[in-house]
Structure 1
Amino acid sequence: MPTPPFRWSPVLAVALSTFSVVTAEMMPVGLLTPIADALDIAPGLAGMSLTITGIMAAVVAALTPVILGRLDRRTALIAFLILLAVANVLSAVATMFAVFALARVLIGISMGIVWASSGGLGARLADAAHIARAMTAIFSGVSIGMVLGLPLGTLIANLAGWRTAFWALAALGAFAAIFARIAMPALPTTKRTGLDGLFSPWRDRGVRTGYIITALVVIGHFGAYTFIRPVLETNPETTPTLIVIALAVFGLTGIAGNFAIGAVAGKSPRTALLWALAGIAIGTALIPLAATHTWFALLVLAFWGAAYGGIGVALQAWIRVANPAMVESSSSMWSGVFNGSIAIGSLAGGLIFDLAGGTPLMLLAALIVAIGWVITLASRPVRERVSA
């Protein structure tokens, strides 16, 4: 049976799906104060909504092959985008933290399924000649969600209230579901993954190494990036407007890095990772020094952002090359590792920041990422093969 010609619309549907879940996950970052005021809770408790989502996404992502079984992957994507829309509606109408927390649980479930599924869908929607570009496009949804989704949601909240921002997210989720239904072909799955096979990717040396690198870079990055604002504010000339500009610079260069490093990852995942990890380690190490000069800080953030923007596509390329036969299960577990590491990095970063301050935190984060760079340098993504 001839391979159908490659089309961009299904890939863009998956990219819109990742954009939708990432924007929904990150939205409380820009709305913590009004949410806390409206629900009559402390800002710290409101911030726990991110932890709730991250933990749920990590657990569900790892279990995605078992949860979905033989369910058509297009049907699954549509169903959990609808759940995402419902969860955002629940967020918009919540008057108690318990209801808001329930909504964040549902968003975590949706995010876990959608993100875990997207890693394996690229290989099914693109032929060999287009798979690298398809994966880069899919993971651009993550980068664009961080740089555009969060600021746009915050702008809507400033103009019409934080609840309106969640209503807009609900509409986005519904639109993404409709677009997926129209643009994507049916993606039936005949193989069922049981609990006994859930951890099989860990037995593959190349895949396992990819997970270890993922944990190190994500823990290091989010341990540092979560507290980038107070580090920048050590400079008395830093204003709220400059903070917005700094984060926008980070995000915009992240989008560029996603495509630039993604192009390299299609040919050599190891080379792409070495460049990305080096950039993140250098950026985190330099930012305490750079914070004393606005122009220097923006330059370092641009460098750091470009490096981090390519991490997702480079790591996914490593996992895929390590063992193409288990791309769905390995991608699902990778998503779980990624989201779990976000929670660990943010939590550990907070503890270290409170105890020692921003500079030690940034240097420790750089060291953690550097360890990942050394492991990458000493490794290859190709799995071990046993001779007959």
Structure 2
Amino acid sequence: MTTVDHTPGTAAAGRSPLRGWLAVLAVTLGIFTLMTSELLPVGLLTPIGSDLDVSEGTAGLMVTVPGLVAALSAPLVTVATGRVDRRVVLAVLIGTVGAANLASAFATGFTVVLIARFLIGVGVGGFWSLAGGIALRLVPERHVPHATAVIFGGVETASVLGVPTGTFIGDLSGWRTAFAVVGLLGLTALVLMVCLMPRVPAARTVTFADLPEVLRGNAGLRTGIAVTFLVVTGHFTAYTFVRPVLREDGVDGGMVGVMLLAFGIAGICGNFVAGALIARRLRATVAGLSLVLTAAMSVLALTGTGAVTTGALMVLWGLGYGAVPVTLQSWILDAAPRATEAASSLYVSAFNLSIALGALLGGAAVESAGAAGVLWIGALLAFLTLPLVLRRPCRPGVAAGRAGEEPKASGTPSGLDRS
């Protein structure tokens, strides 16, 4: 790996902490917009499909396409832009996403929407993989952990609140309005980044050779990627088609947005609960969220008693999924503390590939087995994480920060040994 010699935090030295935090908030708004853009169709599949004359299964491609593209673009953009000012790269990516959402809002056919979704996938993968380490360059070193948490909070908040809010707007004013609002939000983030972010020269260049190297010999990282794949694929197999799931359970169309909003509020609570637990109980937290997701989706597949029971199960589901991003990101960073950029790139790829595969699998299942089928598949995949999580704790092997760097000997178990 080629390296430009910068000490973490040096780039932020001498700058106003307030200006640095404003830049962090601009990046957070950007990543919130990106993730909301990727998942926005989840709550709007039925009206979009009806308006553009495609089935709900076909409409699910609006989630599959950006997920697949993001999985590829995360490492590609990281490598291709290795020497480019990070402010420029992030601004171009968020601007592209804002314009793509506006194009979707005015699209007259499904093909135009899919092209726009392709561009959104490029933005999501590239932005997320670079934004994870940007706090080092924006705020003083003592503020880096909190700033990083705020930036990743944009991912979590989008996952649990962006979709419900977009669905609510879509139910009130139409799905095109929801896309237009997110598009304007992306352009707002672009303006704020240009105005508030300093120049951020590349501190380190990642090569393609670093990506397999960071996985080789690091059982903890491989386990984290596998758990991410199963949990996120299972969740999105069912959640992509949550609207037909809720309608089949007797929920009125006008209440779907309210249900998803309850899901989102529960998800925020799950995020905070997980944040309090992972410092000492990382492995147990991952096992717990897997059990909660399994239980929520299984019982939801069995019941058909109406809005109250369904709403309670949606809250339980939201609690479980709200814990996923912060918990799995912590697992990845614990597993590869000296290769965070390369490991994060792999994690972003796995996360987004799982979103795409979940939507694709759910589309096939909903066409052949109905709404209950996607819930059973989601529950099964979540349950399959337990043998991985509960087996003997594994310690990282090669988690080098540079290609060919030998791991330092340590008598202290990795964070993955936490119960």
Identify the TM-score tier after normalising by the shorter chain: 0.7 to 0.9
Gaps of 5+ in 1: none
Kindly indicate whether residue 131 of structure 2 is the aligned counterpart of residue 118 of structure 1: yes
Query: Number of matched residues?
Result: 387
In structure 1, the residue corresponding to 2:201 is in which secondary structure?
coil
- Displacement of 1:128 after TM fit? 7.5
Identify the residue that residue 199 of structure 1 maps to in structure 2: 212
Identify the residue that residue 227 of structure 2 maps to in structure 1: 213
Deviations 1:248-292 (A, max 9, x none): 211111112122212333455334323322222222222224542
Identify the residue that residue 278 of structure 1 maps to in structure 2: 291
Q: Distance in 2 between matches of 1:198 and 1:239?
A: 47
Deviations 1:281-328 (A, max 9, x none): 222222224542543332222122112112111111111111122111
Return the TM-score normalized by structure 1: 0.86
Equivalent residue in structure 2 for 1:173, among 165, 180, 186: 186
Structure holding more helix per residue: 1
Kindly indicate whether residue 307 of structure 2 is the aligned counterpart of residue 307 of structure 1: no
Q: Distance in 2 between matches of 1:310 and 1:127?
A: 28
Kindly indicate whether residue 83 of structure 2 is the aligned counterpart of residue 70 of structure 1: yes
- In percent, how many aligned pairs have the same letter? 37
Return the TM-score normalized by structure 2: 0.80
Distance 1:240 1:41, change over 3 A: closer
Q: Is the 8 A contact 2:266 2:315 kept in 1?
A: yes
Counting only pairs closer than 5 Å after superposition, residues 17-96 of structure 1 correspond to structure 2 as: 17-32=30-45, 35-36=48-49, 39=52, 41=54, 44-96=57-109
Identify the residue that residue 224 of structure 1 maps to in structure 2: 238
Q: Kindly report the root-mean-square deviation, in angstroms, between the aligned alpha carbons of the 2 structures.
A: 3.1
Q: Distance in 2 between matches of 1:342 and 1:321?
A: 23
Q: Distance in 1 between matches of 2:45 and 2:309?
A: 29
Q: Output the amino acid matched with 2:184.
A: A
In structure 1, the residue corresponding to 2:397 is in which secondary structure?
coil
Q: Distance in 2 between matches of 1:219 and 1:92?
A: 27
Counting only pairs closer than 5 Å after superposition, residues 1-388 of structure 1 correspond to structure 2 as: 4=13, 8-32=21-45, 35-36=48-49, 39=52, 41=54, 44-122=57-135, 133-157=146-170, 161-203=174-216, 204-236=218-250, 238-292=251-305, 294-359=307-372, 361-378=374-391, 380=393, 382-384=395-397
Deviations 1:179-218 (A, max 9, x none): 2234434332242222222332322322211101100111
Distance 1:50 1:349, change over 3 A: closer
In structure 1, the residue corresponding to 2:132 is in which secondary structure?
helix
- Displacement of 1:32 after TM fit? 4.2
In structure 1, the residue corresponding to 2:190 is in which secondary structure?
helix
Q: Distance in 2 between matches of 1:212 and 1:250?
A: 25
Distance 1:368 1:235, change over 3 A: closer
Deviations 1:333-359 (A, max 9, x none): 111111111121222233334444554
Distance 1:273 1:32, change over 3 A: closer
Q: Distance in 1 between matches of 2:48 and 2:249?
A: 28
Q: Output the amino acid matched with 1:112.
A: G
Q: Distance in 2 between matches of 1:286 and 1:269?
A: 26
Q: Is the 8 A contact 2:164 2:260 kept in 1?
A: no
Q: Distance in 2 between matches of 1:166 and 1:367?
A: 33
Q: Distance in 2 between matches of 1:353 and 1:27?
A: 19
- Displacement of 1:169 after TM fit? 2.4
